[in-house]
Amino acid sequence: MNRKIERIISDFSGEPVTVIKKLSGGISFSTYKVLTESGKAYVFRYGEDYVNSGGRHIDIAQTFRREKFFFDTVSDRLQIKVPHIYLIDDSRTRFDYVYEIYDFITGHSLEELGNDAADAVYFQVGKAVAQINMTELSNSCHTEDWGTFFSLRLMERLIPLVKDGLFSEDEINVICPFFKKLDYPAAKAFLHLDIRKGNILYDKHTGTIGLIDAENAEFGDPLFEIARIDVYSEMKDAFYAGYLEEMNLERIDRSSIRYHGYELESLAFLTNVFIHEIDADNETVESMISRTLRLKNKLLSMIQATSSTKETA
């Protein structure tokens, strides 16, 4: 595998490869850092199509192109450092998988910095994420109705948990159609949907924020971004202060049924990952299951109350 990657990067860059190092990456991809003779660093990442646990076919070439569109747009419009994707190759003529080549951007992740990452850095990250969430796109970028999109994505997350006894089909048939018909904001903006410490880079020398791993990027409701971030529970209060200031908001509406729907999608996704895809300790798994079940019951009660109010009206 390394020899093939070496030949591809060497031909692309026009110079010999000196180092290939496998990086940690997502469940669906393999990622390598590649250095050339001049010291230039590239990232080589590949993956293959698969069917996720909810039954949806994931097209890796489409995923890479969505990521490139996200990075290109952010780079053009905002002062946030992101990788430049040079090439996406889905021909499988030189390599057995779809692959992409992009810049390796420097900086330390917030995960690496740990307690050294001051509140001021988190505040800056919050403002950067808000800038992304305020980047509205033309209708040609997102033709699908958001309610339809989100209800299908939510169903995708819940179906695998039926066999674990966490949801019944009847419960899913109550929850998902409700969110399909819910009223949503008309404007759609960029969502990264994987804002975690490991994906946020901070350059101490320049004070700039960088962002990587945008394969989950979507066009939709910014509240969905916040719900994902809340579920990951990795951001300091300073992050939210920066986000609110940039968005010109007084608070984030965490009491709405819309927020709780987004929260359920995120919790169900992580619960399925913890149960079936990664080795997590029993205490972590049980905690995630408990959070998911509590939220499910809360949502079902809220949906029942909302439906009763509509019938009375």
pLDDT at 72: 95
Owning domain of residue 303: 143-187+251-312
pLDDT at 158: 97
Q: Give pLDDT tens digits for 231-253.
A: 999 999 999 999 999 999 999 99
Please give the average per-residue pLDDT across 21-30, as a whole number. 78
pLDDT at 54: 76
Asked, for residue 211, whether it belongs to a domain, the answer is: no
Q: Is the pLDDT of residue 313 over 60?
A: no
Please tell me whether residues 147 and 100 are part of one structural domain.
no
Q: Give pLDDT tens digits for 68-84.
A: 999 999 999 999 999 99
Asked, for residue 95, whether it belongs to a domain, the answer is: yes
Q: Give pLDDT tens digits for 34-80.
A: 999 999 999 999 999 888 777 888 899 999 999 999 999 999 999 99
Please tell me whether residues 154 and 268 are part of one structural domain.
yes
Please give the average per-residue pLDDT across 254-262, as a whole number. 97
Phi, psi of 244 (to 5 degrees): -65, -40
Please give the average per-residue pLDDT across 279-288, as a whole number. 87
Q: How many domains does the chain have?
A: 2
pLDDT at 134: 94
Please tell me whether residues 147 and 293 are part of one structural domain.
yes
pLDDT at 188: 79
CA distance 160 to 147: 21
pLDDT at 53: 73
For the chain, give the mean pLDDT. 92
Q: Which residue has the higher pLDDT, 308 or 284?
A: 284
Least confidently predicted of 105-114, 122-131, 138-147, 247-256: 138-147
Please tell me whether residues 298 and 151 are part of one structural domain.
yes
Please tell me whether residues 27 and 95 are part of one structural domain.
yes
The answer to whether the beta carbons of residues 21 and 41 sit under 8 Å apart is no
Please give the average per-residue pLDDT across 116-134, as a whole number. 95
Q: Is the pLDDT of residue 224 over 80?
A: yes
pTM of the predicted model, to two decimals? 0.92
Q: What CATH number did the domain enclosing 90 receive?
A: 3.30.200.20
Confidence of residue 141 (pLDDT cuts 50, 70, 90): low
Asked, for residue 174, whether it belongs to a domain, the answer is: yes
Please tell me whether residues 72 and 11 are part of one structural domain.
yes
Please tell me whether residues 7 and 68 are part of one structural domain.
yes
Asked, for residue 36, whether it belongs to a domain, the answer is: yes
Please tell me whether residues 169 and 285 are part of one structural domain.
yes
Please tell me whether residues 87 and 151 are part of one structural domain.
no
Please tell me whether residues 101 and 164 are part of one structural domain.
no
Asked, for residue 54, whether it belongs to a domain, the answer is: yes
Of the residues 57, 81, 105, which one is the last residue of a structural domain? 105
